[in-house]
Structure formats: structure tokens, C-alpha cells
Amino acid sequence: MIRLILSLIFLALPALAEEEIVLGLSHDQVAITATFEGSDILVFGAIKREVPIPDQSHLGVIVTIAGPDRPVDIWRKDRVAGIWVNTQDVEVDAAPSFYAVATSAPMRDVLNHVEDLNYRITTPRTIKAIGGQVSDSLAFMNALIRIRTDAGLYQRLEGAIDLEEDTLFRTAITLPANLTEGTYEARIFLTRNGRVIDEYTTEIPVRKVGLERWLYNLAHEHALLYGIMSLILAISAGWGASAIFGMLRR
């Protein structure tokens, strides 16, 4: 009876992962200043094992970095009477302001469709529900991905992770200069034959500092004072330019 009880207790305990991610980041935060032109985040780590490396299975590593979610309105332009105008739009409940996904091999080799549905890893899966009375919402979502990809805000980096001897991995992800302030989430997935066997998540704060932080707080917390200061600066700049031109004419 005691053996039976111990066996049941053992079976009820969660199984220990046979392979686990041990992670490191080159930056634990990103500061946005007046001279900020982007930043590279180096993601590196190792795979801790309790068992020998399986022979007949394919190991994959996936790294994602996601910026804060924001609602988005997507408009379609059509030619009306010879003029291009906005004719139709859809509302996206939430889409990451920045999203990069890097893999150690082609995506189809390291992640299957079901796991992508469960963990929302590829870019289309990260975009929340699309609203609006349209029949081709997929076209609007693809347009959003294309526009943000061209701006460097969405990145698909297949094969960008260096994986050595199925144990050590590293990759670099470039954050562009036009970052949205907030908390960025980094997720690392370990897969075997397309199935996720371990996941590691951490956060990277992205904040304005110095003069940028002061101006941001002023604009949001003291809008009237910020408006008055902006008006004074505009008048002063105009008066100064006029005075300089007047001196040059003499």
C-alpha cells in the first residue's frame, strides 16, 4: 500500500524538463536619448541537459522580442474620380509596436502549426482580433506587416541564430531608432521536431531618459505649460530668423 501511494505521488508531480534554457542578454534595459539611433540586443545562452542529446530528433531555437501592444487602424486607398482617398478601414485590437523573431533554421523546420497556434510565435499570430465589416481582413493584416517590416519594426530572421553542437546559441536583434517606449518581452523557445519543449521569458525596459524624458512628462502631465513653451519657442525662433535676415540685408 505504501509503495502504491508513493508511486501515485511520484506520478502526480510535474515532470522535470530534460532540456532547459540558460539565457543571457547584452542589455537588460534600453535608454532612448536625443542621439539614439537604435541598439543591438545580443541574446546568448546554453541548453542544460539531464539526459544525453537525442540522436533521432531535430533541435531548434527560436528567439522573439516584442514591443508593447497598441491598437491600430488600417486604411485602404482607392482611386475615386481620379483622386486617391481612404475608402475602407479595419481596426486591429492590438498589434506589437515592434516584433522580431529569429530562428536557428527555417521556421517550417523548427516549429509546427499547432505549436504556433498555442504560443503565438510567428508575426501574424501576435496580432490580435481584427474588427470591421470587411471580407478580406487577411489582406489588411498582411499590409500592416508589410508596412512595419519596411520600417524595420517587424523582422523575420530565419537562420539568424548560431547553434553550436546543439548546446550553445547566440543571435543579435537590431532595435530601430523609432522605438515605442515601454516594456519589451523577450521569449526563447527550445523545440524538438517542431514541438516546444522549454520556454524562457524575460523583460527589457525601454525608456526615454534625460531631456527626452522631461519633455515627454511635461507634454503628458502639464499640456498647457508645454503648449505655452512651444508657442514661445516658435515665436522666438521666428523673430531670431527675421533679425538675422535683416542684418544680412544691410
- Give me the pLDDT at residue 92, please: 84
- Give me the pLDDT at residue 180, please: 86
Query: What residues are paired with 200 via a beta bridge?
Result: 188
Phi and psi of 2, rounded to 5°?
Answer: -60, -40
Q: pLDDT band at 9, cuts 50/70/90? A: very low
Terminal CA-CA length for the chain: 108
CB-based burial label for 179 (10 Å; 0-12, 13-18, 19+): buried
Task: Output the pTM of the full model.
Answer: 0.74
CB atoms within 10 A of CB 169: 24
- 103 closest CA partner among 163, 40, 65, 159: 159
- Give me the pLDDT at residue 128, please: 82
- Yes or no: say if 65 and 99 are a contact pair by the CB < 8 Å rule: yes
- Give me the pLDDT at residue 191, please: 95
The 10s digit of each residue's pLDDT in 183-231 is: 999 999 999 999 999 999 999 988 765 555 555 555 666 677 667 767 7
Position of cell 547566440? Answer: 170
Higher-pLDDT residue of 241, 133: 241
**Three-class SS of the chain:** CHHHHHHHHHHHCCCCCCEEEEEEECCCCEEECCCCCCEEEEEEEEEEECCCCCCCCCEEEEEEEECCEEEEEEEEEEEECCEEEEEEEEEEEEEECCEEEEECCCHHHHCCHHHHHHHCCCHHHHCCCEECCCCCHHHHHHHHHHHHHHCCCEEEECCCCEEECCCEEEEEEEECCCCCCEEEEEEEEEEECCEEEEEEEEEEEEEECCHHHHHHHHHHHCHHHHHHHHHHHHHHHHHHHHHHHHHHHC
* Spans of all domains in the chain: 16-208, 210-250
- Give me the pLDDT at residue 135, please: 65
- 99 closest CA partner among 56, 38, 155, 31: 155
Position of cell 521569449? Answer: 187
CATH code for the part of the protein at 16-208: 2.60.40.3880
Question: Grid coordinates in use for 199?
Answer: 520556454
The 10s digit of each residue's pLDDT in 40-94 is: 889 999 998 877 777 667 899 999 999 999 998 887 766 666 676 666 777 888 9
